[in-house]
Amino acid sequence: MKLTDREIEILEILEKDALLSSDSIAKMIGLNKDETEEIIKKLQDEKIIVHYTTLIDWAKVDNYQGVTAMIDVKVTPKRGVGFREVAERIYRFQEVSSVYLMSGAYDLSVTVEGKSMNEIAQFVSEKLSTLDSVVSTTTHFQLKKYKHDGSVYDSDQNDNRIVVSP
């Protein structure tokens, strides 16, 4: 779908900060509020804006139980449907937070979230590797998140500028 420069600009602004009011966005790009809201609604209707989310550093929350694993999955694609059918079978599991088709040594990169390593191990051995098309899996557990979707966790980058300068 071909978008106008204004529409692309709204996407760039929202991608960085979804909390900005439509009034502020309107001022930033020189439109009025109604026009801006109309464009945003159109982008949502077209599923170009898929949804809005909040990035949370769960590691800071005491007793929060959560483990993330990235799994390299080799599969046998099926005639006619390629990788899509097996990708669908995988992403329908609610434990799966992302599925990407990759170039290189394996086919699908699957991110799985669970309460414990055990839970994920169980998911991989019972649900994922038993799928017909899955040839092999390699599971990598995440130990710590430093940066995610462009945001640095625990950034110590403060505004060090002096308050008034020429």
Partner 1 sequence: MTKTKEFVAESVQNMRPSGIRKFFDLAANMEGVVSLGVGEPDFVTSWSVREAAILSLEKGYTSYTANAGLLELRNEIADYMENRFHVKYDPKEEIIVTVGASQAIDIAMRAIINPGDEIIVVEPCFVSYVPLVELAGGKAVTIETKPEHDFKLQPDQLKQAITPKTKALLICSPNNPTGTQLTKEDLQGICDIVIEHDLLVIADEIYAELAYDIQHTSIASIEGMQERTILINGFSKGFAMTGWRLGFCCAPKEISHACLKIHQYAMMCASTPAQYAALEALQSGMDDVVQMTKDYRRRRNYIVSSLNEIGLDCHIPGGAFYAFPSIKSTGLSSEEFAEKLLMEQKVAVVPGNVFGKGGEGHIRCSYASSMEQLQEAIKRIKNFIEK
Chain residues binding partner 1 by CB under 8 A are 9, 12-13, 17, 20, 24, 27-30, 157, 159, 161-166
Which is nearer to partner 1, 8 or 56 (by Cβ)? 8
Q: How far, in Å, are 1, 14, 138 from residue 48 at the CA level? A: 9, 12, 32
Which is nearer to partner 1, 8 or 81 (by Cβ)? 8
Which is nearer to partner 1, 103 or 165 (by Cβ)? 165
Q: Please give the helix or strand (H or E) that residue 101 lies within, else none.
A: strand 96-101
Q: How far is the CB of 50 from partner 1 (least distance, A)?
A: 23
Residue 36, token pair as written in the block: 């801006």
Q: Please give the helix or strand (H or E) that residue 119 lies within, else none.
A: helix 117-122
Q: How far is the CB of 146 from partner 1 (least distance, A)?
A: 14
Which is nearer to partner 1, 4 or 130 (by Cβ)? 4
Alpha carbon distance 63, 61 (integer Å): 6
CA atoms within 13 A on the CB side of 129: 13
Q: How far is the CB of 149 from partner 1 (least distance, A)?
A: 17
Q: How far is the CB of 151 from partner 1 (least distance, A)?
A: 14
Alpha carbon distance 95, 118 (integer Å): 13
